[in-house]
Structure 1
């Protein structure tokens, strides 16, 4: 396991090599001004006119022409092949929040792998920013300032129980599991509070809820 490479007192944007929407990087940087690239995400960063503070990964998908443009002091290769570049990068960043772009909207297997990483590194607050949604691992207690009618989907990556306030269909007494009950397309009545009895619950919200999610994860509730 590698040690911390990037230590930041402000939120960090992490860019991957997948689909990056027209405004994704700018939206993320407005919230998380430090930029780190996961392997091939460096190419997308440079193409958008940004030099990443660090590039982390196994470097099997970063072109040599891109690598040559980045100072050697900002390159941090991690050679093991047991984990994804998203995993390598996320576990190497210590920051109050990570906003990750370029990890949704491309290959399904890569998206599933990213969800797996969110759960395995649940102690590192991270939001995956997509074209239409944001995805993150729910902490033990989560309070979100949502609008009435906002879609709130809960997807368990393990067996999870919990309670809620402010959802049209409360989750109290329900047993969630990836091979059992899931919580697709619930709806907010307004501000929402969700408590879970253990790790493993992914939360999927409309993209417009990004700021509310960032505020909730940053304050730890």
Structure 2
């Protein structure tokens, strides 16, 4: 059984090695001031003047400067069967994880990140990039008070069925799959949006909806 390295009662910002701009980082920190770095994400922390609670990963992407700065809080995980993102998620307990630096880099890394979300059923993880906030939808019914007109995407990460109310193009118990139907360019027509989901489906929204996403994830 994997033992937690970081056990937090409050939200955590997890930094990956892909690009993170200052706005994304500040947004994550406003929701989750505790920082954990996944391997090369430690260099983002160093440049921003942040002290992570831990650096977790196989440590193959750290610069010498980050190694020197964070040597006492490094937690190497040597096995190569999982990504640094998965190594972190399985070793952090927190009510919410704001994950930046995992989208927008190499395509294989992005697809691997989405696969980890689906496999771990990581409902509490919000992926953040310059263009999106993304979260795995909970099974069954959920309500999302997103402002009318904002873009919204429903991307199946496996076989799924989805019904919706409040979208420009609603779904009525539609079968969805990565190689079948997706809803990548939808939008909010009437708030709140109501979704009923069976199977792994990623909800994508614009960053303006970040507060809504974090509130729903935390059950407010």
What range describes the TM-score normalised by the shorter chain of this pair?
Answer: over 0.9
- For residues 12-161 of structure 1, the aligned pairs below 5 Å read 12-72=12-72, 74-140=73-139, 141-161=141-161
Alpha-carbon distance in 2 for matches of 1:32, 1:118? 19
Q: Is the 8 A contact 2:144 2:216 kept in 1?
A: yes
C-alpha displacement at 1:64, in angstroms? 2.9
Secondary structure of the residue aligned to 1:68 is helix
Task: Please list every run of 5 or more consecutive structure 2 residues that lacks an aligned counterpart in the other structure.
Answer: none
C-alpha displacement at 1:21, in angstroms? 1.1
Alpha-carbon distance in 2 for matches of 1:123, 1:100? 12
C-alpha displacement at 1:4, in angstroms? 1.2
Alpha-carbon distance in 2 for matches of 1:107, 1:216? 29
C-alpha displacement at 1:163, in angstroms? 1.8
Alpha-carbon distance in 2 for matches of 1:25, 1:187? 26
Say which is worse superposed, 161-170 or 75-84, in terms of deviation: 161-170
- For residues 168-183 of structure 1, the aligned pairs below 5 Å read 168-183=168-183
Alpha-carbon distance in 2 for matches of 1:132, 1:81? 30
Say which is worse superposed, 185-194 or 43-52, in terms of deviation: 185-194
Q: Is the 8 A contact 2:59 2:76 kept in 1?
A: yes
Which of structure 1's runs of 4+ aligned residues deviate more than 4 A? none
C-alpha displacement at 1:71, in angstroms? 4.5
- For residues 209-220 of structure 1, the aligned pairs below 5 Å read 209-219=209-219
Alpha-carbon distance in 2 for matches of 1:64, 1:22? 23
Alpha-carbon distance in 1 for matches of 2:47, 2:148? 39
**Within the alignment, does 1:191 sit opposite 2:192 as a pair?**
yes
Deviations 1:66-114 (A, max 9, x none): 1121152x21111000111011111111111000011112211111111
Secondary structure of the residue aligned to 1:23 is helix
Alpha-carbon distance in 2 for matches of 1:21, 1:60? 23
**Corresponding residue of 1:8:** 8
Secondary structure of the residue aligned to 1:9 is coil
C-alpha displacement at 1:168, in angstroms? 2.1
C-alpha displacement at 1:219, in angstroms? 0.5
TM-score normalised according to structure 1 size: 0.94
Alpha-carbon distance in 2 for matches of 1:58, 1:123? 21
TM-score normalised according to structure 2 size: 0.95
C-alpha displacement at 1:122, in angstroms? 1.6
Alpha-carbon distance in 1 for matches of 2:142, 2:131? 21
How many positions carry a matched residue from both structures? 218
